[in-house]
Amino acid sequence: MIKKIFLSLSFLLVFADAGTLKGKVTYEGRQFKMKPMRMGADPVCGASHSGKVRYDGFKMSDDGSMEEALVWLKNVEYSGSVPSEPVVLDQKGCVYTPHVIGVMAGQELLIKNSDATLHNIHSMPKINKEFNFAMPKVVKEKKASFPKSEPAPFFIKCDVHPWMKSWVLVSDHPYYAITDKDGNYEIPNVPPGTYEVLCWQEQFVKKDRFKKTLDKVTIGAGETTKDFVLKGPPKK
C-alpha cells in the first residue's frame, strides 16, 4: 500500500514539473510542385472531385508555414498507458485522410472506406509485420495496430489506386505532434529533461535532408519553444 502511494506521488510530482514543447515549422526555398493524381481509371474516384486533385505531400502557406510536418522526441522513457481511442484513417474521394498520422505502439488504427469502390490497404513498416488487405465497397471499417515502435515514419498505400499514400509514425510514447495549417505544433506533458527532437516532412526524406532536422532541446516546467526551418533548393 505504501509503495503504491509513493509511486502515485512520484507520478504526480513528475506530471507537475512536466512542460510543453511548442513551435512552428516553416520552409525556405523553391516550392515543390505536386503532380495531379490520375484518377480516371476508376470512375468512382474521378466523380468524387470537380477538378484536378494534386498529391498533398507538400502543404505550404504563402508565408512558408508547413502543414502536416511531424515533430517528435527520441529516447523518451514512458511507462504510461496506450490511448483507448483509436486513430482514424479514412479513404475518401480515393485519397487517404489525414495524409499524416501518429499512433502509439499497440494503439488501435481504425481504417474506414467512405468510397463506393474497392480499396487495398498495404502498410510498409520496417519493424512491424506489414499488413495487406482488401476493403470492398461493402466493407466500411477495418481495425489494425502496430505492436512495436518504428524508427521513422513509413507509408500506407493502396495497391488498387497507386496515387493513394498516407504516412504513419508509430511511437512508444505520446510525445509527438503534427503541424496545423499555420505550421504550429504543441507537445504537452513532457517530463523535464534534455531530448533529441526530430522534424520530418516527406519531401525531405528523398533528398537526404532528414538528418538536418535533428536537434536537442531542454524541457522544464512551463513552455519551451523550438522552431524548425526546412530548406529546399533556392528560388530562381
The grid cell for 159 is 495497391
Write the pLDDT tens digit of every residue in 148-187. Answer: 999 999 999 999 999 999 999 999 999 999 999 999 999 9
Asked if residue 89 belongs to a domain, the reply is yes
pLDDT the model gives residue 187 = 98
Write the pLDDT tens digit of every residue in 47-71. Answer: 888 878 888 888 889 899 999 999 9
Q: Do 24 and 54 belong together in one domain?
A: yes
| CB-CB contact of 169 with 87 (8 Å) | no
pLDDT the model gives residue 208 = 52
Cis peptide before 98 (omega within 30 of 0): yes
Q: How far apart are CA 179 and CA 36, in angstroms?
A: 24
Residues 6 or more apart whose Cβ sits within 8 Å of residue 13: none
| Other Cβ atoms closer than 10 A to 19 | 19
Give the predicted TM-score (pTM) of the model. Answer: 0.88
Domain boundary among 146, 172, 198: 172
pLDDT the model gives residue 146 = 98
Q: How far apart are CA 70 and CA 154, in angstroms?
A: 12
pLDDT the model gives residue 227 = 97
Q: Percent helix, strand, coil in the chain (nearest 5)?
A: 10, 40, 45
Q: How many domains does the chain have?
A: 2
CATH of the domain at 164: 2.60.40.420
Q: How far apart are CA 28 and CA 26, in angstroms?
A: 7
Whole-angstrom CA distances from 28 to 24, 67, 91, 183, 231 are: 13, 14, 32, 13, 5
Asked if residue 120 belongs to a domain, the reply is yes
| CB-CB contact of 154 with 124 (8 Å) | yes
Write the pLDDT tens digit of every residue in 71-130. Answer: 999 989 899 999 999 999 999 999 999 999 999 999 999 999 999 999 999 999 999 999
Q: Do 58 and 94 belong together in one domain?
A: no
| Confidence bin at 15 (pLDDT 50/70/90) | low
Q: Is 105 exposed, middle or buried (0-12, 13-18, 19+ CB in 10 A)?
A: middle
pLDDT, average across residues 17-30: 93
pLDDT for 209 beyond 80: no
15 φ, ψ (degrees, to nearest 5): -65, -40
Domain limits for position 205:
1-78+189-236
Q: Do 199 and 232 belong together in one domain?
A: yes
pLDDT the model gives residue 63 = 92
pLDDT the model gives residue 170 = 98
Asked if residue 30 belongs to a domain, the reply is yes
Q: How far apart are CA 55 and CA 35, in angstroms?
A: 6
pLDDT the model gives residue 206 = 60
Asked if residue 179 belongs to a domain, the reply is no
| Confidence bin at 5 (pLDDT 50/70/90) | very low
